[in-house]
Chain A
């Protein structure tokens, strides 16, 4: 009968979508096995998330407000979350595998001396928790069990669907005792990317370009389609290493792992290192001149054609549908 706690991450007041996805999945689990879903959330100023959290399945939301929560700090966040676990004693804590979650979960687990499992894409409860996660670049899944109280499990964004199955969540005030003198590595500035650019790892649609675009000047074809779809623009390792686009766009083994609803691979052959970063996407579209390219083996829809003709027509057709 697990009580599952979900960390509801906010950055600059924006709640991460993965938080609602985790609540939805946690509710699905406890509806089958008993137990409750608890959201845990904090911020610098008043902000009530209990209505939305309730809708996605939370029974209660434990909320803290303190000026220290203005900007992410791994030490202070760890202190607050450790105190939450010690006071409320959940059986499982879910944290989104975001930039913040990946920074926070291992420190918290080491402090609590509890099991830590990252980048999970599946949760089940058989005589206890079983966590499914891709390993070896997605070439197989490991099914992992934990041998400690309240394991900390990181959940990959977009792994779970949203389900509006809950109603209202009770709001519970939580007052962590924060020792700011322990915070040593501190964020001195946050530089935000240009507005309108979706973050690759969180985007619902990703459009990526590879060598087939022939040169950096043609990456705008990728950006145009991404713009029309409201998608993030990605890239293969080949064109990042060639210096055509910044490495922050790279999808694959030494880049980012994405699991969007739609992944459009344009002029990408589909090397194993690239597949590692995108093969768990729900729907994959491949556009490539070579009909024998390995990318078609993982794709749901394919066009064996010239992307210089396909992409402008596709961008235009997408704009038509959106009108």
Chain B
């Protein structure tokens, strides 16, 4: 089983933006960067599949400047069980949108021929949740999105995915793209010896030309970023005791806010 896991480096969720007003671009220079937390579920699932089958080869694939993503690949992918990594590093991809990224990833995946591709359901920076599904379309593969459990059976798989008010059970042949969310597994932490050993695993750095690809032009662009509108001050409800405060809250929700 040849598995690819697509990962993205994103700003840590604790990053503060504090925008003074509308800005044309975010200053990302001081952001602490981490692996996208959803991609960790994808990495972990790939490693578990390999462990269950007793064989397999896992490639972590990312798009970004090699100098910045190399450490993430080593610590969060290679040290927890991926066998190799590919970095697509091309300055022309700086403003890439989800479809452009999917086209670049598809070029890597076509070249190396995989049986299964795992992605996170979304990245926590742009929150687009598009790349995994687009990748499946560009490869002309089926996909199952937002899987909560997975069972690989010979040349196919069965996955469960949450929908509003229930669960869908989906069967698919291989090759297939899966997008992974919380609940699928508990990602393991890398051990220090494994981080040391990960430094020996192969990491390929390639650009679009090396993949025989013209850097795809983005079809979307961000015109500006604006801070969220300020919320009014919180009305603190006080009363003789907590039960009276609760009744007063219910009254205000009924009469002022007209919600109940």
Contact = CB atoms under 8 A, between A and B. Distances in A.
B234 A147 contact: no
A304 B172 contact: no
Given A296-B234, A297-B234, A191 B98 contact: no
A199 B164 CA distance: 5
A107 B134 contact: yes
A268 to B, nearest CB: 14
Contact of A192 (B99, B165, B181, B245): B165
Interface stretch (B50-58, B64-72, B204-212, B249-257): B249-257
Nearest to A204: B259
A111 B137 contact: yes
Contacts of A49: none
Interface stretch (A130-138, A162-170, A212-220): A130-138
A98 B161 CA distance: 13
A167 to B, nearest CB: 28
A303 B223 contact: no
Interface string A121-133: 0000000001001
Contacts of A186: 170-172
A178 interface: no
Contacts of A130: 223
B154 interface: no
Contacts of A269: none
A176 B183 CA distance: 37
B138 interface: yes
B166 A140 contact: no
A138 B249 CA distance: 27
A310 B243 contact: yes
B17 interface: yes
* Range class of the A interface residue count: 35 or more
A305 interface: yes
A135 B125 contact: yes
Interface in B124-181: 124-134, 136-138, 141-146, 158, 161-173, 176, 181
Interface stretch (B80-88, B107-115, B194-202, B225-233): B225-233
B interface SS class: mixed
A248 B166 CA distance: 10
Scoring A255, A284, A303, A309 by chain B CB atoms within 10 A of each residue's CB, the highest score goes to A303
Nearest to A102: B129
A174 interface: no
Given A103-B133, A202-B164, A272-B13, A110 B250 contact: no
A25 B234 CA distance: 29
B142 A140 contact: no
Contact of B164 (A11, A302, A305): A11
Interface of A: 11, 16, 72, 74-75, 78, 98-100, 102-103, 105-107, 109-111, 113-119, 130, 133-148, 151, 184-193, 197-199, 201-202, 205, 229, 247-248, 250, 253-255, 261-262, 272-273, 276, 279, 283-286, 291, 296-306, 309-314, 317-318, 320-322
21 contacts: A98-B164, A102-B129, A110-B102, A118-B128, A118-B129, A134-B127, A137-B124, A139-B16, A140-B228, A145-B221, A184-B142, A185-B170, A185-B176, A247-B182, A262-B260, A283-B253, A285-B249, A300-B235, A301-B249, A303-B246, A321-B254
Interface of B: 11, 13-17, 19, 26, 37-38, 97-99, 102, 124-134, 136-138, 141-146, 158, 161-173, 176, 181-183, 217-228, 231-232, 234-237, 241-247, 249-254, 257, 259-260
Given A103-B145, A135-B127, A300-B235, 9 more contacts: A72-B168, A107-B143, A117-B220, A151-B220, A184-B141, A254-B37, A262-B253, A297-B231, A301-B237
**6 nearest interchain CB pairs?**
A317-B250, A185-B142, A185-B172, A309-B242, A313-B246, A199-B164
